[in-house]
Amino acid sequence: MDLNDKMSGLSNETCWESILSLAEEVKKAQKPIEFCSLTFGLKTSVHLNRFPPQKSKSLNAVFFLDPDKIKSVPDHIHGAFLITDVIQVSEIISSGLPKEFIQMIKTYAPYCFASVYAKRWKRAFAVSHLAQTLDGRIATVAGDSKWIGSRGNFIHAHRMRALMDGIVIGSKTLMKDKPQLTVRHVPGKNPCPVIIGSSLRILKCFLHDRNEPIFFVTSKTQVQDQRIRALVLDRINGIIKGSEILKSLYSQGIHSVYIEGGSFTTSHFLEDESVDVLQLHVSPLMLGSGINSFNLPVIQNISSAVQFRDSKFLPVDKGIMFIGIPDSNGTKRKNR
């Protein structure tokens, strides 16, 4: 069977569902992963620390996690990639895969290994996502934020939800936007909602017609609904530290979370150095007023700004997405 025959009938959805399978198998792994391989086809298969069978009738790709572990790649492998960090993917071999597959792999494959980092750090891996205007607004003064992000960004957010174990929002965002927090526009499982708040009353409307568990992060509460799993954590200066939330979620089997806001929640995770990857979709709009994307403490010097040790930009429809790794080892923020 030649390469054209193997590519026949494969679609972007096929690639996406294969990526979901990769993330699921990686999370279940009991032993350290040096590399893994993935087949794209009518039947997806994932092979941890080994290559796929040579007689495979589907396209094959292999992912290495450590450059020192790269082995000679067999001839029947159509794509080989090195996951260099939590956002970067380097192509070793890619000429045998469709361009659409390569782009999807570069965008989403790193997050398939979120559980690897979570097990190493003993806390949930955290990705934060916001859609903002050119002048740094996530909503108008009236709170209208619909379609600041484009259709492409919307699909991206749902793919990220499907890859993550949990999705985090604050109580104000829940009350204002009433989000469903589900995966509706791409194949995949819904992440567990993680709501940060102080009163169970905010969950009443959200619990309607829901059977899956909801994590409620609070400092004190009495939970009587079996669907609610309370994570009772201490507040420091009125704030529950993001790092403590991630540790607590990890103890509950949540290895990765997608932080979708609002500004207050995202900023506190960022200030606490509890964001592993920041995804910021910038739309070609200007409001001139409205709600700021971030609400960080005042600083006097540029050296005290949040910095990134690695980053990249991806075009999304008419806008662009910044993806960066906050530098937790860099200069600490001053004037807190």
- Number of Cβ within 10 Å of residue 323's Cβ equals 22
- Cα(68)–Cα(61) distance, integer angstroms: 18
Bridge partners (DSSP) of residue 129 are 279
- Per-residue pLDDT at 104: 95
Q: Which has the closest alpha carbon to 45: 35, 56, 34, 29?
A: 56
Please state the φ and ψ torsions of residue 321, each to the nearest 5 degrees: -115, 125
Q: Which domains, and CATH codes, for the chain?
A: 3-114 (no CATH), 122-326 (3.40.430.10)
Residue 120 token pair:
């190493």
Q: What is the pLDDT along the chain (336 residues), one digit of tens a residue?
A: 443 444 444 678 889 999 999 999 999 999 999 999 999 876 789 999 999 888 666 889 999 998 888 878 888 899 999 998 899 999 999 888 999 999 999 999 999 999 999 999 999 999 999 999 999 999 999 888 888 999 999 999 999 999 999 999 998 888 888 888 999 989 999 999 999 988 888 787 777 767 788 999 999 877 778 888 999 999 998 899 999 999 999 999 999 999 998 899 999 999 999 999 999 999 999 999 999 999 999 999 999 999 999 999 999 999 999 999 999 754 444 333
- Between the CA of residue 334 and those of 264, 265, 299, 306, what are the distances in Å? 19, 20, 7, 11
- Cα(125)–Cα(255) distance, integer angstroms: 6
Please state the φ and ψ torsions of residue 37, each to the nearest 5 degrees: -125, 155
- Per-residue pLDDT at 8: 43
Q: Are 1 and 57 in contact (CB under 8 A)?
A: yes
Q: Which residue in this structure is represented by tokens 């067999």? A: 74
- Cα(223)–Cα(210) distance, integer angstroms: 16
Single-letter amino acid code for the residue at 262? G
- Between the CA of residue 90 and those of 105, 125, 166, 198, what are the distances in Å? 10, 21, 28, 44
Please state the φ and ψ torsions of residue 190, each to the nearest 5 degrees: -70, 135
Q: Is the dihedral of CA 193, 26, 24, 324 positive or negative?
A: positive
- Per-residue pLDDT at 3: 39
Strands lying side by side in the sheet with 59-64: 45-48, 35-40, 59-64, 79-83, 89-93
Q: How would you label 113-129 residue by residue, b for 16+ Cβ within 10 Å and e otherwise? A: bbbbbbeeeebbbbbbb
* pTM to 2 decimal places: 0.91
Bridge partners (DSSP) of residue 308 are 326
Q: Which has the closest alpha carbon to 22: 78, 68, 61?
A: 61
- Cα(145)–Cα(172) distance, integer angstroms: 14
- Per-residue pLDDT at 41: 72
Contact residues for 179 (Cβ-Cβ < 8 A; gap 6+): 169, 173, 260
